[in-house]
Amino acid sequence: MNNPSLSPDTSGDLQFDAVIIGGGIAGLWTLDRLRTSGYNAILLTDRPLGDGQTLASQGMIHGGIKYTLSGALNKASETIADMPDYWERCLAGQGDVDLGDTNTLSDHFYMWSNSTMGKLTGFFASRAVRGRVDKVAANERPALLQNPGFKGSLYRLVDRVLDVPSLLANLATNNHGRLFQLSNIINRLDKDADNNAYLTLDNGTKLQARRWILCAGKGNAGLLTALACTEPAMQLRPLQQLIVRHRYPYPFYGHCLGADKTPRLTISTHPSASDETVWYLGGSLAEKGASMSASELINAGRQELAELFPWLDFSEAAFSTLPVERAEPRQKDFARPDNAFAEPACGVSNVLVGWPTKLTLAPNLANQILAQLPPPEARNHDLAALTQQLSVPDIAPLPWEAKRD
């Protein structure tokens, strides 16, 4: 890759070590790491922070146990095994990124089954997963599962659940003054004669960077097209999540095991502007729901809840759906990537493209990007010129709040 010079500019153009495009967890975490590593970096987004895949996530910082439902460790589970400890250090203000102002919804996640767990019982008791999963005694069950109707097995995982809006607010505060909202980013991108990307503002000012870093999720595809790049290619993994608003005082975070190698149902509980309890349902239900109509998925969700919690009545609950497209680097046979991804774009000299593939792996993505950057030249700009032209992005509302009439 070429390293465009950051020699003094007399034309009024602005030059940075790095410009990140994308205001989700990937872009914000990467900006934080670059800024604290001495890079003169800014972030551009054409949408509110977190809008899209970040706020559509369930906020889980998991250690991969849900990938071991075949009864064995694998590459996917081990790639992510260290993530809970990494995030814990950050949440304590002692890690690579200071997340001391991020709220936790739950410090653990449950895994349960209404039937025999077969070989998984032995596997969960083995030394291989010691410290990552513990059996829960009957007198320690959460309120939701204390009903006599619950006859299954219950385990506690070290997976933490974060309040994603507070995570976004924490990162936005950390990087105050370096976040900018700009419309129509795709049509502003271009390449110069040396195949270096740049972006033009409304007043003709050019933003130039030694590295442009694309962290826009599924928006990366359009950005690459604007730069006439075909690689790296992207794949989309569709889901249709289910949102359930009800009156039961049961905050719960757990995976229900079924016959598949992915959880039958994943439940997380999230804040609401009303006094309702909001359950957000994922797992196999959401994967199968991608091919269903909204009404079909709602009917399937009602049936699942009736089977799993027959002691509860959801007839008065309000159900809605949320289609989600998870963006990933293209894999052979549409396989799930095991790790975050960051590679140079083909056909342009100064662009990196990244997908974290899941919220938990945002730190891995930033580490990969940092490893591919030249040393910072530490030329700090007075950002007043950008501040006068561009607004500061707000944090997007949670999907279930945005969908309310």
Q: How far apart are CA 175 and CA 165, in angstroms?
A: 15
Q: What share of the chain is helix, strand, coil (3-state, %, to 5)?
A: 30, 25, 45
In this structure, the dihedral spanned by the alpha carbons of residues 230, 231, 237 and 241, taken in order and rounded to 10 degrees, is: -80
E-strand stretches of 101-175: 104-106, 109-113, 133-135, 153-157, 160-162
Q: How far apart are CA 168 and CA 96, in angstroms?
A: 16
CA-to-CA separations, 339 to 76, 79, 167, 328, 331, in angstroms, rounded: 7, 7, 21, 10, 12
Residue 238 half-sphere exposure toward CB, CA atoms < 13 A: 9
Q: How far apart are CA 113 and CA 264, in angstroms?
A: 9
Give me the pLDDT at residue 75, please.
52
Q: How far apart are CA 330 and CA 332, in angstroms?
A: 7
DSSP secondary structure string for all residues of 348-383: -SSEEEEE-SSGGGHHHHHHHHHHTSPPP------T
Whole-prediction pTM: 0.90
Long-range contacts of 298-305 (CB under 8 A, 24+ apart): 298/242, 301/242, 301/244, 304/264, 304/265, 305/244
Report the phi/psi class of residue 334: left, alpha or beta, with left for phi > 0 and alpha for psi in -120 to 50: left
Kindly state the greatest CA–CA separation across the chain: 76
Local mean pLDDT, 10-residue blocks, the chain (405 residues):
39 87 98 96 97 94 57 52 88 97 94 64 45 80 93 86 97 97 96 95 92 97 96 96 96 86 89 89 96 98 96 96 96 90 96 95 96 85 81 94 59
E-strand stretches of 126-217: 133-135, 153-157, 160-162, 179-181, 189-191, 197-200, 206-214
CA-to-CA separations, 29 to 35, 87, 158, 240, 372, in angstroms, rounded: 10, 12, 22, 26, 16
Residue 390 amino acid letter: L
Q: How many residues can be counted in the chain?
A: 405
Contacts of 137 (CB under 8 A, 6+ apart): none
> Could you tell me the domains of the chain?
14-53+166-233+335-398 (3.50.50.60)
3-state secondary structure of 116: coil
At 199-257, the pLDDT tens digits run 999 999 999 999 999 999 999 999 999 999 999 999 999 999 999 999 999 999 998 98
Backbone torsions φ then ψ of 313, nearest 5 degrees: -115, 110
Q: How far apart are CA 405 and CA 17, in angstroms?
A: 44
CA-to-CA separations, 67 to 34, 103, 264, 286, in angstroms, rounded: 31, 26, 12, 16
Q: How far apart are CA 195 and CA 270, in angstroms?
A: 46
Q: How far apart are CA 279 and CA 85, in angstroms?
A: 26
Q: Are 213 and 369 in contact (CB under 8 A)?
A: yes
Pick from 182, 219, 215, 186: nearest CA to 23: 215
Give me the pLDDT at residue 380, please.
67
Sheet holding 234-246, edge to edge: 133-135, 153-157, 109-113, 254-256, 265-270, 277-282, 234-246, 318-329
DSSP secondary structure string for all residues of 201-222: -TTSPEEEEEEEEE--GGGHHH
3-state secondary structure of 400: helix
Q: Are 327 and 209 in contact (CB under 8 A)?
A: no
